[in-house]
Amino acid sequence: MRDNSLDLKRILSIMLGTLLLSIATNGIFLPNKLLSGGITGISILLHFLFGFKMSLLILLLNIPIFLLGLFFLRKTYLAYSLFGMIMLSLWLELTDSIIISTGNILSILVVGGVLYGVGIGIIFRADGSTGGVDIIAKIINKYFSISMSTIIFLINGVILMVSIYLFGVDIAVITISTMFLGNKITTFVVDGINHKRTLFIITDSEHYETISAHIMQKIHRGVTVIPAIGAYTSKPKYILYTTIGIREVAKVKQIIISYDPDAFMTVSETAQVIGKGKGFMHLDT
């Protein structure tokens, strides 16, 4: 039952995300002669130049990419990507008559960027895609740990170069501004605003138990204790590893200062925390 509910949530997320992408495409991009990103952007370009049907182009252009994905990606991910691609083509047909009236360039940029960014973000958060460069980005992300949003933005740069050549600088500037905003919105939707901080605290054998106990009691966060040896002093040390909320960093600092002013601590920004714990995302299996 648990797996079925998760699958249903994933399917609904992909349906909602592709609907928003279709509204952004038909309602903003096409009426204002703007390009989009990825296969959708290439389809829009071919639609402007030759009048080809976008929904059909998306299906045809994705065939070789899906064949490539068969060698590198999970079949489950590809299945949901295939579903996303089909839903995007279907929504493009159903929302063909939607046109969002905009009074100025800023409205075009914001409305188009937000709709597109939220749509992509919802799909990525559900570990889905609409095929196309999403699959290419997923392959690169899997083997080189480069974020998908960054990869897609770079690939879209090529599309923008073509846009400048064919339609001029003005259209290209509006397009890149819309895509940049969409990229930021996508990151916001995927990562959220509740970023965490990861702490590495190096202390000695006299204080690690007291510090870790107070972090667990007062901050209500788990602590992992890692035995270590100082390379310079050759003395035994302990590394306390924990992930906390932004507002809790100052409290941990006070705990450390109270018990070991000589302790060494680093604080790193953490976009997502997956696993058990208050405020953390649960890892789906």
pLDDT digits (tens, 9 = 90+) for 173-203: 888 888 889 888 888 887 776 668 899 999 9
Which of 143, 158, 191 is at the close of a domain? Answer: 191
How many angstroms separate the CA atoms of 73 and 237, rounded? 42
Nearest Cα to 133, choosing from 122, 118, 120?
120
Q: Do 187 and 201 sit in the same domain of this protein?
A: no
Q: Do 154 and 218 sit in the same domain of this protein?
A: no
Q: What is residue 146's predicted lDDT score, i.e. its pLDDT?
A: 77
Q: What is residue 17's predicted lDDT score, i.e. its pLDDT?
A: 93
Six-digit token pair at 138?
């997923």
Structural domain contains residue 279: no
Q: Do 7 and 138 sit in the same domain of this protein?
A: yes
Q: Cα dist. 73→27, 58, 100, 241, 265 in Å?
A: 33, 20, 37, 32, 39
How many angstroms separate the CA atoms of 285 and 6, rounded? 10
Q: Do 11 and 131 sit in the same domain of this protein?
A: yes
Q: What is residue 282's predicted lDDT score, i.e. its pLDDT?
A: 46
Q: Do 95 and 187 sit in the same domain of this protein?
A: yes
Q: What is residue 285's predicted lDDT score, i.e. its pLDDT?
A: 40
Q: Do 21 and 123 sit in the same domain of this protein?
A: yes
Q: Do 82 and 200 sit in the same domain of this protein?
A: no
CB 57 within 8 A of CB 47: yes
Range of the domain at 206: 196-270
> Which residues, in sequence order, are bridge partners of residue 224?
241
- Collect the ranges in the chain with pLDDT lower than 50: 1-5, 279, 281-285
Six-digit token pair at 66?
């899906």
How many angstroms separate the CA atoms of 49 and 26, rounded? 17
Q: Do 235 and 220 sit in the same domain of this protein?
A: yes
Structural domain contains residue 284: no
CB 73 within 8 A of CB 91: no
**Angle (deg, nearest 10), helices 105-125 and 2-24:** 160
Structural domain total, the chain: 2
Query: Rounded to 10 degrees, what is the CA torsion of 50, 161, 14, 139?
Result: 120
Q: Do 180 and 219 sit in the same domain of this protein?
A: no
Q: What is residue 277's predicted lDDT score, i.e. its pLDDT?
A: 58
How many angstroms separate the CA atoms of 262 and 51, rounded? 70
Six-digit token pair at 281?
């995302």
Q: Do 159 and 229 sit in the same domain of this protein?
A: no
The CATH number of residue 243's host domain is 3.30.70.120
| Alpha helix segments (H runs only) across the chain | 2-24, 38-50, 54-72, 75-94, 105-125, 133-144, 148-167, 169-191, 208-214, 249-259
Q: Do 116 and 248 sit in the same domain of this protein?
A: no
Region of residue 195 (phi > 0: left; psi between -120 and 50: alpha; otherwise: beta): beta
Q: Do 11 and 111 sit in the same domain of this protein?
A: yes
Q: What is residue 194's predicted lDDT score, i.e. its pLDDT?
A: 63
